[in-house]
Amino acid sequence: MGKKFISRVIFLTALGMTPSFLAADAHWVGTWGCGPQLTEPSNLPPAPLANSTLRQFVHVTIGGNHLRVRLSNAYGTNSVAINSAHVALASGAGSGGTGTIDPAAEKTLTFRGAPAVVIPAGEVVWSDPFDYHLPALTNLAISIYFGNISATTINGHPGSRTTSFIIASNVVSSASMAGAATTQHWYIITGVDALVDTASHAVVTLGDSITDGRGSDTDGNDRWPDDFAARLLANPATTNVAVINMGIGGGGIYAGLGPSANARFDRDVLNQSGARWVIVFEGVNDIGGGTTAASLITAYQQYVAKAHAQNIRVYGATITPFGGNGYFTPAHETERQAANAWIRTNALYDAVIDFDAVVRDPVTLTNLYAPYDSGDHLHLTPAGYEAMAGSINLNLFSP
């Protein structure tokens, strides 16, 4: 046994990790994540987080027996005090209803051995690794009892499509959150990793509100990346492939809500634990704002170069139709078609996922197919997201 391995045993044992974690063929893989951003004033918590418990639910992809949780204050301008943080499996409806958990499946998080942590402005922290049996495709509750936290600047993810619960007391271990204020946003939490064998990896879905799931059902976990993850885990050859959804509603390659894809590509794709593939599905918000296909192609080329440098395969997804939406003009449609033509024919992407061909109206090619149109002629229904996920060739994600 080498010195490096012995040092690793000593270090991780000090963090409460048993030697069972240390199999030579194990590594961290993200089983859930979201793209962090500065929360806009209209999306701030409905009740103060200071001295309150916030319970949030996330739908993980692959399972595992050893976990760690990532908490981010990347966009906060003040420190965030966390007095206590717990995880538990959702009970019953889980991410709906009263936000119930299974108390028998609860675990207290620690941070460098302590139950509390202060996250400085602009910083990210990981919990200490911990033993935990997490089934695949399940809802995990993360309950945080805050100390001091700013009410006006907070790291978050507005498009959670998942109900979160806030109560002004320490109830991190409570089975239910009856009487809590509710909101459909995530705050502070940005990732859950599982320690799994080295044959397991993650695919990152980089996108905008279509990837973030606008038009899907709140607490339904029926975004296209959710459906895609379910297909992967039901397929014998890809049961070890996680999906990390890095969609940001309103985001774009160059501008839009939250950090641009250019600004966040390294963090949200390259730095994800265990990332082996990325699906690049970006561009509709840029085109809607007047960006040219040539500019989009420049960014796509940069993403491919960066990802390939880290042995990450890059799959390009065509931009879906938006005829009838406020984004639509003949000039914008020309740019969409030009971008899609490049995506379909270039020699840089490792493969192409043709979402446009799957969801467009078979007669009016500039529009979404009516059963897939959520009503705004841009975002899709759950049926549309299921069709997108169902069109992806799972062989692209086999070892």
Given a cut of 90, is residue 117 above it in pLDDT?
A: yes
Backbone torsion region of residue 288, taken as left when φ is above 0, otherwise alpha when ψ lies between -120 and 50, otherwise beta: alpha
Mean pLDDT of 301-311: 98
Tokens of 341: 């033509």
Angle at 248 between CA 124 and CA 332, to 5 degrees: 145
Q: State the pLDDT at residue 22.
A: 55
Given a cut of 80, is residue 6 above it in pLDDT?
A: no
Cβ neighbours for 288, distance < 8 A, ≥ 6 positions apart: 322, 325, 326, 327, 332
Cα–Cα distances (Å) from 234 to 61, 269, 323, 385, in that order, read: 11, 25, 35, 18
Tokens of 22: 């240390």
Q: What's the residue count for the chain?
A: 399
What phi and psi values does residue 122 have, to the nearest 5 degrees?
Answer: 80, 5
Greatest Cα-to-Cα distance within the chain, rounded to the nearest angstrom: 66
Q: State the pLDDT at residue 17.
A: 47
Tokens of 9: 């045993």
Mean pLDDT of 35-45: 94
With cut-offs at 50, 70 and 90, classify the pLDDT of residue 4: very low
CA dihedral 35, 280, 277, 262 (to 10 degrees): -60
CA dihedral 18, 24, 25, 31 (to 10 degrees): 40
Contact 116, 81 (CB under 8 A): yes
Angle at 248 between CA 246 and CA 252, to 5 degrees: 110
Contact 212, 257 (CB under 8 A): no
3-state SS assignment for residue 243? strand
Q: State the pLDDT at residue 93.
A: 55
Given a cut of 80, is residue 226 above it in pLDDT?
A: yes
Helices first, then strands: H and E counts in the chain: 9, 20
342-355: pLDDT as tens digits: 999 999 999 999 99
* pTM for the predicted model, two decimal places: 0.94
